[in-house]
Amino acid sequence: MVVLLVGISHHSAPVAVRERFALTGDDGDRMLRSLLEYVSHGAVLATCNRTEIYTTVRNAEVGTRHLQRFLSAWSAMPPDQVATFLYSASHDKAARHLFRVAAGLDSLILGEEQILGQVRDAMHLAHAHNSLDPALYALFRHALRSGKAAHTYTAISRKAVSVSAAAVALARDHFGSLAGCQVLVISAGEAGKLTARSLADSGAGAITVTSRTYERAAVLAASLGGRAVPFEDLPQALAQADVVVSSTAAPGYVLTADEVRAALAQRPERPLFLIDIAVPRDIDPAVGALSGVVLRNIDDLQRLAEANLNGRRQEVAKVEALVDREVRSFLEWWNRRDVIPTVAALRNQADAIRRAELERTLAHLDLSEAERTRIDAMTNAIVKKLLHHPLTYLKANPDEQGYIEAVRTLFALDAPEDHGRRTPARSRSRRGDIPGDHPAPVHPEPVEP
């Protein structure tokens, strides 16, 4: 069995294609239910810019074609067309990819923390559907551990690297806390919305939106959970605000020094933080010279974001090292997973032979109980010493030269009379043409590492 990944992301497809696979609401649940009509075990990882399927198969090539057909049916795109936008990876490459995703190395924004929660959600959803076999369960556990280590022991996710996050960082540095701060958005566009949303998510208080087109302001205000005011009421709204975000397409200044000075006169004890992300600028640069005012423009935000991004880039090597360690740990687990039942089967077989021969021999001897005990101990010690070196070597080198299968073959551990372990010729899945492994175990509720 190998782990198989098939997915689509911002690396492989434009947004017009990715949106065909975007999952919102209960789409993830529906996709997983549909997937389980194709495979015995699986998990669906969905983020803003990726949709990925993880499963276990016997043949990666056959499994990839199978999942391509599934994704073709899901997206209503022809199989050949879908295949051009999909990527796939198996086993250690699939594990490395997921661990890098969880650590924020494969995101549009380097070091993004939100992705770790989405990996956790994918694991919990698959757990709820009982669709995690031991391999997938271990894969996602290691992925969560990889992501948590990256965010805990490196600075890959620290400091703002987007314009909107940089605006929040500057505002927080100015106010100390954004709790209760009143936000005024002079915009009805996406840039203003993103910055206002970041401020709201960081604890800012009520949001007021104004624009020359009141209807557009009302739509944006509704999406932010705020209120819209007519553009004519800008002076009053400015006097009440603590943080102002301006991002319009106006050819001239939306806020002049005189207008800001008039607003300050109505709130002399309250500082005002202005964020101008418009090009051309919305706010007269002279405003920045007023007492009690801090003015930041798009260049300030981009310089901060770029400086922080450079800092994050310096952490990539550390995160890659953590990912490498986690991949090795997962592969070690994988390679050991068949050793324990093989070791147990060989020990049980040897002991069964020893006992049978001992009983046959002792039946013809007139010995005391103490003598019988000493002979039993002697034969047991002989078996243990004979098996010690091969079993120690097998446990230390589980994947070397097919030793596990060699031991099982040489000692006939999969013979019909051996009921302790399934035979290598495992049955095929009833779903599609991807062979199944064993029934998905009932795991305890996942606990993050």
What residues are annotated to the active site? 48
Q: Which residue bears the tokens 């981009």?
A: 302
The SS3 assignment for 211 reads: strand
